[in-house]
């Protein structure tokens, strides 16, 4: 092999090595994204069940505080389900964050970082939603008026956090829509 062919061969080898590293990074990111998507689906199931429990809790408030004992069991179930959902969304956020650190396209990194932020904010939202159940369990709340007042504060916080995570989701969606060619694979 002459000098010129060796140089071309080295350039091709370097290019091939860079391509392999790039593909490896993208494969690693894709695996993390798949794990995140599975975690989000599991969280959604828990959230749906928790919403059902919270509605059941709302339906029983007419007799509060006389039926506090009955409502406590429902509230504890809702809190347990919201905790399970939070665990899964934290897992998704961590995976999205790790994927955003890979050596991939900058728009993909930005998208993944926003998804991580979205799910972290969604966890905050769920943590606030647990306060609904806790307000029923709280022994210092002794009448419906005090409970309603506390729940209004909680609902305001829940709505604010919901808006924040939905805004992050919308920003991520816009990046995905504006860069469809980078998300096809």
Q: Where are the chain's structural domains?
A: 3-183
> 3-class DSSP state for residue 159?
helix
* Pairwise CA distance, residues 141 & 170, whole Å: 38
Site of tokens 């998208």: 111
Q: What was the pLDDT predicted at 25?
A: 79
**CA-based end-to-end distance of the chain:** 39
What is 3-183's CATH number? 1.20.120
For residue 64 the two structure tokens come to 């509060």
Q: What was the pLDDT predicted at 17?
A: 38
Write down the pTM of the prediction.
0.85
For the four alpha carbons of 46, 51, 52 and 58, in that order, the dihedral sign comes to positive
Instruction: Give me the tens of pLDDT residue by residue for the chain, a chain 185 residues long.
Output: 555 544 444 433 344 334 444 457 788 888 999 999 999 999 999 999 999 999 999 999 999 999 999 999 999 999 999 999 999 999 999 999 999 999 989 999 999 999 999 999 999 999 999 999 999 999 999 999 999 999 999 999 999 999 999 999 999 999 999 999 988 75
Q: What was the pLDDT predicted at 73?
A: 97
């Amino acid at each position: 092999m002459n000098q010129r062919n060796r140089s071309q061969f080295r350039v091709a080898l370097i290019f091939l090595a860079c391509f392999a590293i790039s593909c490896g990074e993208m494969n690693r990111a894709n695996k993390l994204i798949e794990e995140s998507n599975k975690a989000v689906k599991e969280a959604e199931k828990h959230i749906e069940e928790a919403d059902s429990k919270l509605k059941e809790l709302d339906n029983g408030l007419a007799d509060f505080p006389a039926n506090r004992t009955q409502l406590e069991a429902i509230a504890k179930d809702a809190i347990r389900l919201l905790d399970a959902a939070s665990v899964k969304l934290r897992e998704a956020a961590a995976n999205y964050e790790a994927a955003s650190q890979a050596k991939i396209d900058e728009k993909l990194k930005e998208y993944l970082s926003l998804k991580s932020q979205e799910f972290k904010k969604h966890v905050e939202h769920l943590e606030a939603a647990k306060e609904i159940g806790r307000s029923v369990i709280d022994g210092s709340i002794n009448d419906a008026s005090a409970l309603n007042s506390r729940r209004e504060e909680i609902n305001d916080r829940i709505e604010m956090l919901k808006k924040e995570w939905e805004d992050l989701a919308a920003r991520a969606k816009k990046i995905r829509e504006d860069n469809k060619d980078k998300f096809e694979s």
